[in-house]
Amino acid sequence: MKKQFAVVGLGRFGGSVCKELYSMGHEVLAIDTNEDRVHDFANFSTHAVVANATDENTLLSLGIRNFEYVIVAIGDNIQASILCTLLLKELNVKHVWVKAQNNYHHKVVEKIGADRIIHPEKDMGVRIAHYLVSEKIIDYIELSPDYSIMELIASHKVANKTIQKLDIRAKYGCTILGIKRGEDVIITPFPDQLILEKDILILIGHNNDLKKFEEEGI
């Protein structure tokens, strides 16, 4: 289903979001104060404009209220990011996602109503760190300070055994959400699903439980 998005700020993060959404077939309004950046994204958005997103009249003239999602990806100018977020919430934009530079920035946009706050550098740093410390880990997504999703390579230790026989939930407190096998993904596998060596297990659980399973169970 095609959706309407506006991306404010066309730096590395905002530009990547803009390109990806457009490539997925969605309508994307790309906004930046830098004319060169806007020109660069003319072919990677439905409409690209040079505009100051901290001005209420400018936002209204762009029809920002018509967009279900607005991503505030303004770079190092925290003040501009905060003001833009405030205006968008006052204009009743349904979903405002904000890229935060630091914890102070996070706290402020959270208080003024940002619907989701993203720390791309921190999130990627966490994922890479977990990948570096274990050859078993393919990917790691932090859901909260206590819970995460982890992708692990199935070793010979669990190969040719069913989920029921391994009983991972009872032994380790983790739940298998899916199994990647080549190009295929098995979503919510049944208890009698056989695990093969080199399968990628997608698990959710408490960080301590995931770590224990990664160290002992696989």
pLDDT at 193: 94
- Do both 47 and 144 map to the same domain? no
The tally of domains found in the chain comes to 2
Note the pTM of the prediction, 2 decimals. 0.67
- Do both 158 and 108 map to the same domain? no
- Do both 83 and 149 map to the same domain? no
- Do both 17 and 90 map to the same domain? yes
pLDDT at 91: 95
- Do both 30 and 68 map to the same domain? yes
- Do both 28 and 103 map to the same domain? yes
Q: What is the CATH number of the domain that holds 23?
A: 3.40.50.720
Query: What is the DSSP track for 120-185?
Result: HHHHHHHHHHHHHH-TTEEEEEE-SSSEEEEEEE--TTTTTEEHHHHTHHHHHS-EEEEEEETTEE
pLDDT at 131: 61
pLDDT at 132: 63
- Do both 104 and 137 map to the same domain? no
Q: What is the CATH number of the domain that holds 213?
A: 3.30.70.1450
The residue to which tokens 């505009």 are assigned: 51
Q: Encode the chain (218 residues) as per-residue pLDDT tens digits.
A: 788 999 999 998 999 999 999 999 999 999 999 999 999 999 999 999 999 999 999 999 999 999 999 999 997 899 999 999 999 999 999 999 999 988 899 999 999 999 999 887 777 676 667 666 667 778 888 888 889 998 999 988 899 999 999 999 999 999 999 999 988 999 989 999 999 999 999 999 998 999 888 888 77
The whole domain housing 100 covers 4-118
Q: Which of 146, 207, 151, 140 is nearest to 181 (CA)?
A: 151
pLDDT at 2: 84
Integer Cα distance of 181 and 197 in angstroms: 10
- Do both 32 and 102 map to the same domain? yes
